[in-house]
């Protein structure tokens, strides 16, 4: 279960205690959306903020960087130096995924590979054995609070059938009313922003999302 602080972007830049509150509520990691205004029509922050956040929160939180940027190659080393643990780039935005995967590993980070809703999931398959996580976007990247795209679930199902041990993450519009569809399709990692932040009881929401994933994993194991 990952907490995405994009929904309170300006607040968390000024007050990392809000991120810490979510971690204390049960979020296992921080999913940090980096946008440059080119790959997506929005701008968030860069590696200096990540470095500041790392200093404020300490070494324990796992920082997943979701790099929605035009040139993901140029930010690998800065993000690693800032304290990022995983670097997730978009397949649509690089001509040399293999070289980029190698660079990320050599920088000491795990590798995530993301696809937008209109990208064919088979395009990701050649790289699945070289990455740690596949991120399937269930909204168009760039803005929080969008409506979940139900039609993306067959992509998740296909990935799970082809790569049973791969970590598969979904990001976009996922909350308590959606989680069972995602987990049932094969997602074992969930990004959530609005559903957690707009709740009066974030711990309960986080536990619900986590339990749904655990139950689906157990069911798949029994069905084999």
**pLDDT tens figures, 28-43:** 888 999 998 888 878 7
Give the lowest-confidence range in 4-8, 19-23, 190-194.
4-8
Residue among 33, 36, 93, 103 flagged as catalytic: 33
Model pLDDT, residue 28 = 83
Judged on CB neighbours under 10 Å (0-12, 13-18, 19+), 157 is middle
- The residue range of the domain holding 69 is 2-223
Q: At 169, phi and psi to the nearest 5?
A: -115, 145
| Token pair 């796992």 in the structure block, residue | 62
pLDDT in tens, 128-170: 999 999 999 999 877 666 788 989 999 999 999 999 999 999 9
Q: Is 167 a catalytic residue?
A: no
**Residue of 107, 102, 84, 170 lying closest to 135 (CA atoms):** 170
- Per annotation, catalytic residue among 36, 93, 103, 171: 171
What are all long-range contacts of 123-126, with beta carbons under 8 Å and residues at least 24 apart? 123/91, 124/91, 124/159, 125/162, 125/163
Q: Is 171 a catalytic residue?
A: yes
Does the pLDDT of residue 81 top 50, yes or no? yes
The enclosing domain of 141 has a CATH number of 3.20.20.70
- Total-model pTM: 0.89
Query: How many structural domains comprise the chain?
Result: 1
164-187: per-residue pLDDT in tens? Answer: 999 999 998 898 999 999 999 999
The reported pLDDT for the residue numbered 172 is 85
Q: What integer pLDDT is reported at residue 11 of this predicted model?
A: 52
Q: How large is the average pLDDT for residues 84-113?
A: 97
- Burial class from Cβ neighbours inside 10 Å (0-12, 13-18, 19+) for residue 164 reads exposed
């Amino acid at each position: 279960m990952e907490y995405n602080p994009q929904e309170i972007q300006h607040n968390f830049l000024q007050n990392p205690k809000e991120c810490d509150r979510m971690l204390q509520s049960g979020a296992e990691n921080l999913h940090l959306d980096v946008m440059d205004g080119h790959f997506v029509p929005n701008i968030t922050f860069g590696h200096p903020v990540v470095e500041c956040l790392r200093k404020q929160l300490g070494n324990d939180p796992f920082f997943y960087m979701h790099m929605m940027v035009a040139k993901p190659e140029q930010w690998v080393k800065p993000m690693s130096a800032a304290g990022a643990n995983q670097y997730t780039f978009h397949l649509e935005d690089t001509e040399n995924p293999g070289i980029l995967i190698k660079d990320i590993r050599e920088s000491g980070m795990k590798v995530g590979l993301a696809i937008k809703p209109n990208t064919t999931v088979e395009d990701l398959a050649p790289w699945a054995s070289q990455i740690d996580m596949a991120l399937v976007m269930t909204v168009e990247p760039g803005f929080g609070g969008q409506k979940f795209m139900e039609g993306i679930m067959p992509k998740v199902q296909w990935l799970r059938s082809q790569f049973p041990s791969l970590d598969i993450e979904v990001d976009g519009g996922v909350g308590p009313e959606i989680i069972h569809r995602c987990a049932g399709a094969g997602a074992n990692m969930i990004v959530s922003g609005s559903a957690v932040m707009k709740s009066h009881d974030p711990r309960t929401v986080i536990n619900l999302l986590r339990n749904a994933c655990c139950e689906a994993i157990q069911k798949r194991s029994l069905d084999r």
